[in-house]
Amino acid sequence: MEPLRTCIVCRRVMPKKDMLRICKSSDGAVKPDYERRLPGRGAYICADCKCAERLSKSHALDRAFKMQVDSEIYERIAMALEGNNGTAGY
């Protein structure tokens, strides 16, 4: 069985490998984790540009990490997902 994760935006359950991991490290830095191996708390978003768009509007990361996440970080993640063209093959 592949590990499954829930997208924090649309709540779809998908294989981990098809998703972008977003990591919150112990110092509170939030960043896209392309290799999916950074230490810290992770949130997953599916590689779908609709979710990238909705992410910043819904502030789903704020809820996932229980903190206020900079709009700059949302932009960076949206760009990471858009540049990715719908697939997770980084």
Q: Where on the chain is the footprint of Zn ion (CB under 5 A)?
A: 7, 9-10, 46, 51
State the nearest-atom distance from the C-beta of 22 to Zn ion, in Å: 12
State the nearest-atom distance from the C-beta of 12 to Zn ion, in Å: 5
Which residue, 18, 23, 5, 89, is CA-closest to 47?
18
Q: At residue 57, what are phi and psi to the nearest 5 degrees?
A: -70, -40
State the nearest-atom distance from the C-beta of 60 to Zn ion, in Å: 9
Helix (H, G, I), strand (E, B) or coil at 33: strand
Q: Of 26 and 65, which CB lies nearer to Zn ion in the complex structure?
A: 65
Q: Of 23 and 46, which CB lies nearer to Zn ion in the complex structure?
A: 46
Beta bridge partners of 4: 15
User: What is the spatial distance between Cα 74 and Cα 18, in angstroms, rounded to a whole number?
Assistant: 19
Q: Which residue is nearest to Zn ion (CB)?
A: 7
Q: Of 12 and 31, which CB lies nearer to Zn ion in the complex structure?
A: 12
